Amino acid sequence: MAGPEYLFQRETFAGGDRWLARFVARPILSFVHREVASSVLLLVAATTALIWANSPWSQSYFDFWHTHIDLTVGGYHVHGDHGLTLEAVVNDGLMALFFFVVGLEIKRELVTGYLSSLRAATLPAIGAIGGMVVPALFYVVFNPTGEASSGWGIPMATDIAFAVGVVALLGSRVPPILKLFLLTLAIVDDIGAIAVIAIFYTGDLDLRWLAVAVGLTLVVRMLALMRVWALEVYWVIGLVIWYATLESGVHATIAGVVLGLLTPAKPLLDRTKAQDMVDHLPDDPSVEQVHQASFLVQESVPVTERLESLLHPFTAFLIVPIFALANAGIPLSTETLTEAAGSPVTWGVILGLVVGKPLGIAAFTWVATRFGFDLPEGMNWPQFVGMGFAAGIGFTVSIFITGLAFDDGGITDLAKIGILVASGAAGGAALALLWFSGKRGAHTEIAPEEHHSHDETSAS
């Protein structure tokens, strides 16, 4: 049964014999701990949005997400001069938490993961650069000028949840190193996408608010260096940094990424102290002793890992599906589909993701192998290209960048249609190529300790 064994102990509700435990709790817990779970939920949310937006109740879909919210304290509008809608709450607020988890994942990989080794990280990084540059060039070829040209960042992104979900569906037909390589490549891709959002999709800057955000970010760094442990302090300061970033003109999600990168990726206490404390607990410990042991055990785990463990289910199973529900609802009338079929925006996105992604990743990696780098042991070139197609599933971050790139709702819908078509085509191509290039049962799983630092990566 999928999921941590402690969840299914007979002493727990999920491990009991009650009807609700056997037929509700255990199946749900088993599902959410599968690698494909978040991708399935994301697909369901996107499909629901499409059906709702094209049903007889379509107007209710758009009315709901465009519901105006007015937050005031005294006579002060918390959201400033710009209007606040439910869609904006999702895109500017909830997605900041999603990008915070992305920042945590990047920090973990840089300090203790695959990216901590320059030699191991170089080849995925080179592939990721190709997977960003070539799709952007494909898009620019189709949209060299005008408002549509600002969408060049759309096909650069990879949806980790969908990409890993596709690979997970194939089980032992693909080598474990392929998933590890894909995750590393996607992390570098995330870094690139975040840089693009911060540099190229930022509005007019308000330097006063930007100074507040930067100043408080330095305070967070100083507190971390002083080993201040109270997470509540960081949550409060982080909320103010998010608001200051929002008001500064820089997209608020960048605040989430920066705070994630500032989070310590090494334990604050030596694990031996926690182990000694637990080993010497009396048979009937006092409440104070239990609290002390709990504190030592907790602080012997890196803050990045603790926060990822806490927030990853929330972002993967709630925030990202809500984002898909709020943003994937596109009216698919005959006129819209006809326009999309001849639109350079739609084709720029489709060809950027379906052709540019795998071509860029494979071409840049092939060039690197000419200079002494080797493909990871156990991978062949057909599998590598199949992985490139999996990276062409843009979805979440591509849709997110679409909302930043265009003010025209018509162009936005054309780009989203391209993203949906491209993600489906890239996913299908990845499944087919990886299926036929692999042999069933030929590959074993990564050892738990080797896999640990990668098994929760699906927030982006």
In the chain the domains, ranked by start, together with CATH numbers, are 36-88+118-190+316-451 (1.20.1530.10)
Q: How confident is the model at residue 297 (pLDDT cuts 50, 70, 90)?
A: confident
Look at residue 441 in the predicted model and tell me its pLDDT. 47
Mean pLDDT value across residues 330-340: 91
Q: Dihedral sign, CA of 213, 215, 220, 221? A: positive
Question: What is the Cβ-side half-sphere exposure of residue 146, based on CA atoms within 13 angstroms?
Answer: 9
Look at residue 415 in the predicted model and tell me its pLDDT. 96
Contacts of 80 (CB under 8 A, 6+ apart): 247
Look at residue 372 in the predicted model and tell me its pLDDT. 85
Looking at the predicted structure, is the pLDDT value of residue 14 above 80? no
Looking at the predicted structure, is the pLDDT value of residue 113 above 90? no
CA distances from 207 to 212, 243, 244, 246 (A): 9, 14, 10, 12
Would you tell me how many other CB atoms lie within 10 Å of the CB of residue 91?
A: 21
Structure tokens at 248: 């500064």
Looking at the predicted structure, is the pLDDT value of residue 302 above 50? yes
Higher pLDDT, 378 or 215: 215
Residues 198 and 192: their CA atoms lie apart, in Å, by 10
Mean pLDDT value across residues 59-72: 88
Q: What share of the chain has pLDDT > 70, as a percent?
A: 85
Tens of pLDDT, residue by residue over 440-449, are: 544 444 443 3
Look at residue 173 in the predicted model and tell me its pLDDT. 81
Q: How confident is the model at residue 142 (pLDDT cuts 50, 70, 90)?
A: very high
CA-wise closest residue to 305 among 154, 20, 105, 53: 105
Looking at the predicted structure, is the pLDDT value of residue 268 above 90? no
pTM above 0.85, yes or no: no
Looking at the predicted structure, is the pLDDT value of residue 431 above 60? yes
The Cα angle at residue 161 between residues 156 and 167, in degrees rounded to 5: 95
Looking at the predicted structure, is the pLDDT value of residue 35 above 60? no
Contacts of 63 (CB under 8 A, 6+ apart): none
Mean pLDDT value across residues 245-251: 87
Look at residue 20 in the predicted model and tell me its pLDDT. 59
Look at residue 234 in the predicted model and tell me its pLDDT. 92
**Which residue type is seen at 28?**
I
Look at residue 448 in the predicted model and tell me its pLDDT. 37
Alpha-helical runs (H) found in 147-286 = 160-169, 176-200, 207-225, 231-248, 253-262, 271-279
Look at residue 453 in the predicted model and tell me its pLDDT. 41
Looking at the predicted structure, is the pLDDT value of residue 157 above 80? yes
Mean pLDDT value across residues 182-205: 86
Higher pLDDT, 21 or 213: 213
- Max CA pair span of the chain: 74
Q: How confident is the model at residue 28 (pLDDT cuts 50, 70, 90)?
A: low
Element of type H or E holding 58: helix 58-65
The SS3 of residue 68 is strand
How would you label 441-452 residue by residue, b for 16+ Cβ within 10 Å and e otherwise?
eebeebeeeeee
Residues 230 and 319: their CA atoms lie apart, in Å, by 25
